[in-house]
Amino acid sequence: MTLPVGDADNPGMSLPARCRPAIVLVLAAALAGPAATAPRQDGRKVSRQAAAAPSYAGHPEARRFAAEAAERRGLPQDWLAQQLAQARRVAAVQKLVMPPPAGTAKNWAAYRARFIEPRRIEAGVAFWQANEAALLSAEQRHGVPAEVVVGVIGVETFYGRITGNYRVVDALATLAFDFPAGRSDRSAFFRGELEEFFVLCAREGLDPQAVK
């Protein structure tokens, strides 16, 4: 999955487009490894709040998306429609995508100390070693240095320890079909990200309802 990238202090920061394919390739290889060959048993659980939220079953834009994505990418239209029917609109995601209130200037020293510290460095080395082949392949294919990919994954997920509180399919469907008013419309971008997410899941054998 490729989402706009930003840490808690910089939620609006976007990842350069040329970096995204390399990071997706490395994450896909990592997800396909022995430690993640199947979703966790609780991966499909939906919170009561999410279960009460409107689903995208029968949503006209979701139906159109399924038909068009199926034709473009060679995915089964029925499968796409089934996955979207289980996706739910998440109001909190709509709020999180809005521009943050103006704040004070960030302190670089404090930011650096947060991310350049022994535990994260140790985890980064282990991640690099475990995914060396995929990192090399991504660098050769996309021209993005391995250290850039490893650094971004470290900031965004602490090398898999922090994976988010929302299902990817819910978050992307919400922003693809119900992008909030009050800022420039980016629904087209998130529809593209939703399509890439389904392509990734189909290729890697992942359950779209279990990925966070």
Instruction: Indicate if 156 belongs to the active site.
Output: yes
Distance of CA 165 to the CA centre of its chain: 12
Longest dimension (CA), the chain: 51
Residue 45 identity: K
Q: What is the Cα–Cα distance from 85 to 58, expressed in whole angstroms?
A: 7
CA distances from 44 to 107, 121, 167, 196 (A): 39, 32, 9, 20
Q: Each residue of 3-40: b (16+ CB within 10 Å) or e?
A: bebeeeeeeeeeeeeebbbbbbbbbbbbbeeeeeeebe
Q: Which of 139, 156, 196, 204 is catalytic?
A: 156
Q: Measuring CA to CA, which residue among 193, 187, 192 is closest to residue 175?
A: 187
| Catalytic machinery residues | 156
